């Protein structure tokens, strides 16, 4: 089994759409008239969740009519935000077929299928024409991709000159052994976390100029503390999180949160311009 097949298998649930719709229905949402805010607990699972997406989008300088490719689009939460809040035409691509199908379904239920589309494919061989996008995004994807030089070269290929590439990735900030399982990998075999220095170097090699870099650790830590406080108060864990994360969800979440609090890992945002 190839690395990409192992990664897709890691994220595959088997009956994810049914489980998500059941969670939404149980929480009182009208499945036939979903709004984006109804999906807040089930469609964004990067550190900082929707709050991080909102801040990330502000730095991307988005506007109506821009074409944006969301690489590793998952269940489509960020893609729908970019379209709904800014009027961008968004094309999402993800390695996991089930994620693509659920993203399509949720987008249609929210009435955004005219602006947002999804397809299955590899980030290392993007099925898009060269120079066809104004913006590209990568949100918590690089941890599963070893060949980041090829990844960034593909992203540079589909961007117009002067276009912006925004990435929001978990990076390693100091020497140390990562505790597994993590949200993106049960063991080191499919985990390719590296430093911000490596990201900057590879971006420059691919034809990008890094214009902005932000460490979003404070946001991630605050939200993790709030979640723990709610659990301690008897409010329970988010069922959407457990459903999408799958086996050993609490342990995996705890491992990444502890690593961020200890300064071993950090969620880093970078905005780079295609030169």
Mean pLDDT of 116-137: 98
Domain boundaries, the chain: 3-274
Residue 100: name the closest of 79, 82, 74 by CA: 74
| pLDDT tens sequence across 132-186 | 999 999 999 999 999 999 999 999 999 999 999 999 999 999 999 999 999 999 9
CB 170 within 8 A of CB 193: yes
**Contact call for residues 216 and 48 (beta carbons, < 8 A):** yes
Confidence of residue 197 (pLDDT cuts 50, 70, 90): very high
The position carrying tokens 């099925």 is 127
Q: Classify the C-alpha dihedral 175-181-184-190 as positive or negative.
A: positive
Retrieve residue 2's tokens: 């190839």
139: Cβ–Cβ under 8 A, 6 or more apart, which residues? 46, 53, 56, 70, 72, 74, 78, 167, 168, 169
User: If DSSP codes are grouped into helix, strand and coil, which group holds residue 90?
Assistant: strand
Contact 11, 96 (CB under 8 A): yes
**What's the pLDDT score for residue 41?**
80
> Can you say how many angstroms the Cα of residue 255 is from the centroid of all Cα atoms in its chain?
18
Q: What is the pLDDT of residue 196?
A: 97
Instruction: State residue 50's pLDDT score.
Output: 92
Residue 207 pLDDT greater than 70, yes or no: yes
Residues 23-34: what's their mean pLDDT?
Answer: 89
Q: What is residue 237's predicted lDDT score, i.e. its pLDDT?
A: 61
Residue 236 has pLDDT above 80, yes or no: no
Split at pLDDT 50, 70, 90, the class of 232 is confident
The strand pair at 89-94 and 67-71 is best described as: parallel
Q: What is the mean pLDDT of the chain?
A: 94
Contacts of residue 159, defined as CB under 8 A and 6 or more positions apart, other chains included, come to 131, 133, 134, 135, 136, 165, 274
Ranges 23-27, 208-212, 225-229: which has the least confidence? 225-229
Give the N- to C-terminal CA distance of the chain in Å, as an integer. 37
Tell me how far apart the alpha carbons of residues 38 and 34 are, in angstroms, rounded to a whole number. Answer: 6
3-state secondary structure of 241: helix
**Helix, coil or strand: residue 14:** coil
Strand 67-71: give its sheet, edge to edge. Answer: 116-120, 89-94, 67-71, 133-139, 159-172, 265-274, 208-215
Task: Indicate the pLDDT class of residue 222, thresholds 50, 70 and 90.
Answer: very high
Burial of 175 (0-12, 13-18, 19+ CB in 10 A): exposed
Q: Is the pLDDT of residue 200 over 90?
A: yes
Its sign, for the CA torsion 2, 105, 89, 55, is negative
Q: What is the pLDDT at residue 33?
A: 86
For the domain made up of 3-274, the CATH class stated in words is alpha beta
Q: Which is higher by pLDDT, 1 or 159? A: 159
């Amino acid at each position: 089994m190839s690395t990409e097949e192992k990664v897709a298998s890691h994220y595959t649930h088997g009956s994810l759409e049914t489980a998500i719709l059941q969670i939404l229905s149980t929480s009182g949402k009208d499945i036939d008239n979903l709004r984006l805010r109804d999906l807040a607990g089930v469609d964004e699972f990067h550190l900082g969740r929707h709050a991080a997406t909102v801040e990330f989008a502000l730095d991307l300088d988005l506007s109506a009519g821009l074409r944006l490719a969301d690489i590793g689009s998952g269940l489509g939460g960020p893609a729908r935000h970019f379209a709904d809040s800014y009027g961008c035409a968004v094309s999402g691509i993800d390695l996991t077929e089930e994620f693509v199908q659920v993203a399509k379904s949720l987008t249609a239920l929210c009435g955004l299928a005219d602006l947002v589309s999804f397809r299955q494919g590899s980030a290392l061989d993007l099925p898009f024409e060269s120079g066809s996008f104004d913006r590209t995004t990568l949100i918590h994807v690089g941890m599963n991709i070893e060949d980041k030089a090829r990844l960034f070269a593909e992203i540079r290929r589909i961007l117009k000159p002067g276009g912006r590439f925004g990435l929001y990735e978990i990076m390693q900030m100091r020497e140390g052994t990562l505790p597994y399982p993590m949200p993106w990998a049960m063991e080191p075999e499919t985990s390719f976390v590296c430093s911000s220095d490596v990201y900057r170097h590879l971006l420059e090699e691919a034809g990008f100029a890094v214009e902005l870099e932000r460490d979003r650790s404070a946001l991630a830590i605050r939200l993790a503390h709030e979640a723990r406080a709610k659990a301690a108060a008897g409010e329970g864990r988010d069922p959407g999180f457990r459903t999408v994360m799958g086996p050993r969800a609490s342990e995996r979440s705890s491992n990444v949160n502890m690593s961020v609090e200890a300064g071993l890992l950090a969620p880093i945002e970078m905005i780079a311009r295609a030169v």
